[in-house]
Amino acid sequence: MIPVAVLVTAVLAGVAGWTQAGKIEQDLTARSQAALFAAGLPTGDVSFDGRDALLRSFPPGQALRALEVVRQVDGVRAAQLQGDITPLASSSPPPPVTTPTTSSALPTTTATAPPPPTDKAGVQAEIDRMLAETPIAFVPDTARLTPEGEQAARAVAIALAKSPATFRYRVTGHVARGPGGESAALKLSRDRARAVARILTTNGLTVKRVTYRGLGDTRPATGAEEDRRVEITVV
């Protein structure tokens, strides 16, 4: 009996460790994507194995900058690029630059990432872009977000936390027409909107800045997948 108890304890500990590792990876991914967005580098992909980041699909002109941004995210242990582009060795200083003595040196400029939008239209456009690239998805017929859906909602929350404090947001849930009828569709859409609103208010936004509602299947889109959607509106 004692060996069996030890084995069960070891298995439970392993499952708990695996679950915690998955949450850490999701959190680091969401915070890294938000940092890349804030730095004007949203075009690539970042994933985690534990606390080690792997960056893919960044344009050649942005890859090294994206690598540096991810390395600065709190909790990231290491980061590397996938592809032909590799960072310059820190031990190799750049070659000296000589300036002609016959003319005065021109002032140097440093490229900086564009600041996040501060107007209503700009913030709404950024919300729509983020949701179009990574929709907030749910487990079918439930109000439980998929890991990808939760990651997308967290990334939006972190981005909106940097918007003006006077801005408020409304989360609206939509579902496709189903066998449960209008009342079931209305309840599911409201539960999904509430789940997303909860993520927004636990990742940077105060409760008074977020409201939610469900419209059931009353506003169908162009297809079944578009019907099952969550919209976030600047109000």
**What does the domain layout of the chain look like in residue ranges?**
2-81, 120-234
Helix (H, G, I), strand (E, B) or coil at 49: strand
Nearest to 30 by CA among 144, 176, 149: 149
> How would residue 60 be classed by pLDDT, with cut points 50, 70 and 90?
confident
- Whole-number Å distance between alpha carbons of 180 and 221: 19
> How would residue 11 be classed by pLDDT, with cut points 50, 70 and 90?
very low
Nearest to 75 by CA among 24, 39, 35, 33: 24
Strand order in the sheet with 78-81: 45-49, 52-56, 78-81
* pTM of the entire predicted model: 0.51
* Mean predicted confidence (pLDDT) in 150-165: 92
Tell me the pLDDT tens digit for each residue of 175-221. 887 777 888 889 999 999 999 999 999 998 999 999 999 998 888 77
Determine contact, residues 159/130, Cβ cutoff 8 Å. Answer: yes
The residue behind tokens 């069996």 is 4
Nearest to 206 by CA among 164, 177, 146: 164
Helix (H, G, I), strand (E, B) or coil at 44: coil
Would you tell me which CATH number, out of the four given (3.30.1330.60, 3.40.50.720, 3.40.50.300, 2.60.120.10), belongs to the domain 120-234? Answer: 3.30.1330.60
